[in-house]
Amino acid sequence: MPTRIQLLIPLLILGVAVPAAAQKKKDPKLRLAAAHYKQGKEYFRLKLYDKAVEEYRKAFDLSPRPQLHYNIGRALHEKGDLTAALASYKKYLDAKPNGRAADETRESVARITKKMTAAADAERLRKQLLAKQKADAERRRRKAKVDGLVAQANAFLGKKLYDDALRTFATAYDLGKDSELLFDIAEIHRTRGKDSAIGKYQQYIDAAPAGKRADAARGHIATLTRARDERTRRLTALQSKRRAKRGIKWTWLTAGAALFAAGLVLDLVPKSGRDDMLEARDFAPVGLYGAGLTAIGIGVF
């Protein structure tokens, strides 16, 4: 025979359930939210995930229950929108860390995170490979262009068009940064007899200390430096000689001017004795004029 308590339990359940059901019937927002939720589940079953998400969100706007974050996350997960699904799953776990679907949601979060990490790694490797392929293609393009420029520069050299060859070698070097081209540039300067070749050879050595033509460059630098120093020595000696010669010329000019002036002085000094008779001193100014002009001539010529 049922006890009094057993008889009261159904009444208590009915007492709680009936008011809740009545409240649901009275609240149109709850009824509409339930309808959207039901429609969302149907769309999910039909694999129409975009529509399912739309219905779940409408239900959440009317009745913001955490469970709907889980439903939205599942639909987005199935759709393949992993980033959005992860965000919805985390919202659910934040609101219901111990909810009925919490363990399942954590497993989904772990799977999505792992998949997204793998995808990110794959994308990074793909970009690295693409960048390498692009760089290799660019290097091949540059090399082909440099090779063409070098061939053109050598053709200019064969015609002794040194300026054109220099410009073309310089362009090739700027494009390919091949240090051996610096040696070729230095060679043109040496062929033209320019001391600038010394600096160009040194530039090559600085760029390629162990280059295949580094020893040849050092030898050219030594030879060209000796030749330059010898020219400098000779030029200095010649300039000194010219300065000495100019000093001597000025001495002759000065002496000549002095003699000529002395002649004028004697010529202008009043003469004593008879004017109609020639004396020895009458010839002195003429002699001084001649000596002065001779000295001036030596100084000039």
pLDDT for res 127: 95
Q: Which residues of the chain have pLDDT under 50?
A: 1-22, 24, 273-274
Q: What number of other Cβ atoms are within 10 A of residue 21's Cβ? A: 10
| Distance separating alpha carbons of residues 177 and 179, to the nearest angstrom | 6
CB contact at 8 A, 59 and 69? no
CB contact at 8 A, 220 and 190? yes
Determine the 3-state secondary structure of 107 from DSSP.
helix
User: CA nearest 64: which of 30, 103, 41?
Assistant: 30
pLDDT for res 191: 92
Length of the chain: 301
Query: How does DSSP classify residue 272?
Result: P
Query: How does DSSP classify residue 269?
Result: S
Q: What is this structure's pTM? A: 0.51
pLDDT for res 26: 57
| Distance separating alpha carbons of residues 50 and 157, to the nearest angstrom | 72
**Which residues have CB under 8 Å from 54's CB, separation 6+?**
40
**Which residues have CB under 8 Å from 212's CB, separation 6+?**
180
**Which residues have CB under 8 Å from 180's CB, separation 6+?**
204, 208, 211, 212, 213
| Distance separating alpha carbons of residues 157 and 286, to the nearest angstrom | 69
Which amino acid is present at 15?
G
pLDDT for res 279: 61
